[in-house]
Amino acid sequence: MTVNEVSESDLDVAIIGAGFSGLYALHRVRDLMGLKTRVFEAGDGVGGTWYWNRYPGARCDSESYYYSYSFSEELEQEWKWSSRYPAQPEILNYLEHVADRFKLLPDIQFNTRITSVHFDDANNRWNLTTENGEKTSAHFVVTAVGCLSTRNTPNFPGLDQFTGDWYHTGAWPHEGVDFSGKRVGLIGTGSTGIQATPVIAAEAKHLTIFQRTPNFSVPARNEPLSPEMAADIKKNYKEIRAACRTSGGGFPFATIERLASDVTEEERQKIYSDLWEVGGFRFLAESFADLLIDEEANNTAAEFIRAKIRAIVKDPQVAEMLLPTDHPYGTKRPPIDTDYYETFNRENVELVDVRKAPIIEITRKGVRTKNAEYELDVLVFATGFDAMTGPLLGMDIRGSNQQTLSSAWEAGPRTYLGLQIAGFPNLFTVTGPGSPSVLTNMPVAIEQHVEWITSCIGYLREHGLTRIEAKDDAQEEWVRHVSEVADGTLYPRANSWYVGANVPGKSRVFMPYVGGMDVYRQHCDDVAENGYEGFVLSN
Ligand code: N01
């Protein structure tokens, strides 16, 4: 093909991924803007995170009525959530319903993993190649690949000789796994391990949990949504959505300004006790404003949770092993649970500290730590993800002058607003590093990004422009700002996936933007209003 020739199959916008982000992007680009687009999806169905993560106990830890799209009143009025925190199959059904309702399926190409995305400077287009060698080109690319979609499976020697079955929670078999009568090992005590533990323990003959870092978990307090509650939510959706859009976290929580030191010890305990009963993220969000800023304040919450662990877990030695002490509460993504600590009172559950006695290898029979061998029939890796950068670096992305994304991000991710990367024109990242993303209620962050990106594409087309690219200095300033804001909090104190600490060799950079969704949204709007300040627009 010669320069500037575009074939029939070429697209205005290529969208990678059919989760929450990709579905909404497709709806806007195709239905509201009338552009030629296609979604490329590695799975054989929609859902993204909710397609892959089918492990036992998988459940949303944000409440259903705001962990959902807000863009369609009809959708929110017609959909019925069954409970406070919906389980994975229900969220997947919801996303399948969205795909059906907005007739998205014909423009999604399933079982198609994009392996390379190369910019063609001469044609000002992106060339995409799939795993099967199929090629297409697009004027714009929207990566809707999720923040937690590249699995992290530790490279323990010997896994290939294990005679039992092993699974990663992020690629759970669709037909499920039968644990009955089995000796099960589970590695990892993040949100996933904490959700899976009680469910596996109830089914398996024996469950061994290999814990490297104890975590702070708060009860979810899941319950069915009564018809009255559901009706009330539907009546008040406008206010709920507005509260989400204007809050720092994208949640409709009460705004709390009091500091932990503003109240007496007795009042503080009462506030924590009440919120422990309410359950979920409200414990962190609705207690005190300084928990993630001030170490002393944080320690009051941490101590409260530690006391709860000691009270729930009957064996004092096990309780002691479960006490988190190496990071401030909330600086790792706070899990919420249903009977996690209670599960350690079961006869068939054993906790192994692999910080003290690390895992040396996987043997034919099970897991060998420095101290012992644990015989297992099934091994579950709840070991998380190469977060935020993994899904992008997993594709061979090359920008202007064939610069690779991996070289641009050698010292860690650098973006302008988490929306674009200097040197990679017309390529947009949804909830990329440098945006609030994983620190917020994801659907709110996703809708904001998709709306900003599609408005930006609309603006370019209206103004006869064909190219937008982040300026180097704007990007540098944003990266500096993201890091400065994070440094004003306790977040960088934890060895979390927020800083890439869970993946050996990954550059330590605090990836999400801590400044708040409300502040960030305003900033992005101002950038657009000022003629896309910090970007070069051209044709
Ligand atoms: O992963 P994680 P996750 N040897 O990285 C351990 C979202 N999510 O899948 O802490 C031994 O948090 C690791 O130990 P350490 C949510 O945002 C949402 O649980 O690194 N252990 C840790 O205990 C969440 O934060 C929902 O020392 C090893 C665990 O594995 C994110 O997904 C539900 C190890 C990994 O924890 C990721 O959660 C579930 C090794 N070599 C998850 N390597 C919702 O409900 C790792 N570990 C919406």
pLDDT digits (tens, 9 = 90+) for 453-487: 999 999 999 999 999 999 999 999 999 999 999 99
In the reported structure, the alpha carbon of residue 90 is separated from the centroid of ligand 1 by a whole-number distance in angstroms of 22
pLDDT average, residue stretch 300-307: 98
Which one of 383, 386, 388, 511 would you pick to mutate in the ligand 1 pocket, going by the greatest count of ligand atoms within 8 A of its CB?
383
Asked if residue 175 belongs to a domain, the reply is: no
Which amino acid is located at 457 in the chain?
A: I
Atom 40 in ligand 1: residue holding the nearest Cα: 154
Collapse the DSSP code of 194 into the 3-class scheme (helix H, G, I; strand E, B; otherwise coil) and give the result.
helix
**Residues 35 and 74 reside in one and the same domain:** yes
pLDDT average, residue stretch 49-55: 98
| pLDDT for the residue numbered 2 | 39
**Residues 410 and 335 reside in one and the same domain:** no
In the reported structure, the alpha carbon of residue 375 is separated from the centroid of ligand 1 by a whole-number distance in angstroms of 23
pLDDT digits (tens, 9 = 90+) for 321-343: 999 999 999 999 999 999 999 99
Domain of residue 115 covers: 7-150+387-538
Question: Measured on CA atoms in the order 220, 221, 226, 231, is the torsion positive or negative?
Answer: negative
Q: Is the CB of 291 under 6 A from ligand 1?
A: no
Asked if residue 156 belongs to a domain, the reply is: no
In the reported structure, the alpha carbon of residue 337 is separated from the centroid of ligand 1 by a whole-number distance in angstroms of 14
Which CATH number belongs to the domain containing residue 417 in this structure? 3.50.50.60
pLDDT average, residue stretch 117-127: 97
pTM of the model: 0.97
Instruction: Identify the domain boundary among 317, 348, 381.
Output: 381
**Residues 442 and 358 reside in one and the same domain:** no
Which one of 437, 502, 506, 511 would you pick to mutate in the ligand 1 pocket, going by the greatest count of ligand atoms within 8 A of its CB?
502
Q: Is the CB of 148 under 6 A from ligand 1?
A: yes
**Residues 417 and 531 reside in one and the same domain:** yes
Asked if residue 188 lies in contact with residue 379, where contact means CB atoms within 8 angstroms, the answer is: no
Which amino acid is located at 434 in the chain?
A: G
Asked if residue 173 belongs to a domain, the reply is: no
pLDDT band at 7 (very low <50, low <70, confident <90, very high): low
pLDDT average, residue stretch 499-526: 97
Strand (E) or helix (H) holding 306: helix 295-312
pLDDT average, residue stretch 141-167: 97
**Residues 486 and 357 reside in one and the same domain:** no
Asked if residue 435 lies in contact with residue 449, where contact means CB atoms within 8 angstroms, the answer is: yes
Asked if residue 160 belongs to a domain, the reply is: no
pLDDT digits (tens, 9 = 90+) for 187-205: 999 999 999 999 999 999 9
pLDDT digits (tens, 9 = 90+) for 229-270: 999 999 999 999 999 999 999 999 999 999 999 999 999 999
Q: Where are the alpha helices (DSSP H) in 337-404?
A: 340-343, 390-393
Residue 360 has pLDDT above 90, yes or no: yes
Asked if residue 260 lies in contact with residue 330, where contact means CB atoms within 8 angstroms, the answer is: no
**Residues 126 and 275 reside in one and the same domain:** no
| pLDDT for the residue numbered 269 | 98
In the reported structure, the alpha carbon of residue 197 is separated from the centroid of ligand 1 by a whole-number distance in angstroms of 13
Residue 207 has pLDDT above 60, yes or no: yes
Residue 5 has pLDDT above 60, yes or no: no
Residue 445 has pLDDT above 90, yes or no: yes
pLDDT band at 8 (very low <50, low <70, confident <90, very high): low
| pLDDT for the residue numbered 1 | 41
**φ/ψ of residue 305, rounded to 5:** -70, -40
**Residues 372 and 405 reside in one and the same domain:** no
Residue 408 has pLDDT above 90, yes or no: yes
Atom 3 in ligand 1: residue holding the nearest Cα: 384
Instruction: Identify the domain boundary among 318, 348, 381.
Output: 381
In the reported structure, the alpha carbon of residue 258 is separated from the centroid of ligand 1 by a whole-number distance in angstroms of 31
Atom 43 in ligand 1: residue holding the nearest Cα: 383
Residue 6 has pLDDT above 80, yes or no: no
Q: Is the CB of 192 under 6 A from ligand 1?
A: yes
Atom 9 in ligand 1: residue holding the nearest Cα: 384
Q: Is the CB of 398 under 6 A from ligand 1?
A: no
Q: Mean pLDDT, the chain, as a whole number? A: 97
Q: Where are the alpha helices (DSSP H) in 247-339?
A: 265-278, 282-285, 295-312, 316-322
Strands 125-130, 114-120: pairing is: antiparallel
Atom 29 in ligand 1: residue holding the nearest Cα: 188
Asked if residue 199 belongs to a domain, the reply is: yes
Instruction: Identify the domain boundary among 363, 381, 399.
Output: 381
| pLDDT for the residue numbered 275 | 98
Percent of the chain with pLDDT over 90: 98
**Residues 252 and 146 reside in one and the same domain:** no
Letter string b/e over residues 405-415, b meaning 16 or more CB atoms within 10 A of that residue's CB: beebbeebbbb
Asked if residue 2 belongs to a domain, the reply is: no
Q: Which atom of ligand 1 lies nearest, measured to the CA of 501?
A: 20
Asked if residue 161 belongs to a domain, the reply is: no
**Residues 404 and 371 reside in one and the same domain:** no
Counted domains in the chain: 2
Least confident residue range of 2-6, 181-185, 339-343: 2-6
237-246 helix and 517-529 helix, angle to the nearest 10 degrees = 80
pLDDT band at 451 (very low <50, low <70, confident <90, very high): very high
Q: Is the CB of 189 under 6 A from ligand 1?
A: yes
Q: Is the CB of 498 under 6 A from ligand 1?
A: no
Asked if residue 405 belongs to a domain, the reply is: yes
**Residues 347 and 428 reside in one and the same domain:** no
Atom 25 in ligand 1: residue holding the nearest Cα: 333
Rg (CA), the chain: 23
**Residues 365 and 444 reside in one and the same domain:** no
**Residues 391 and 529 reside in one and the same domain:** yes
| pLDDT for the residue numbered 3 | 39
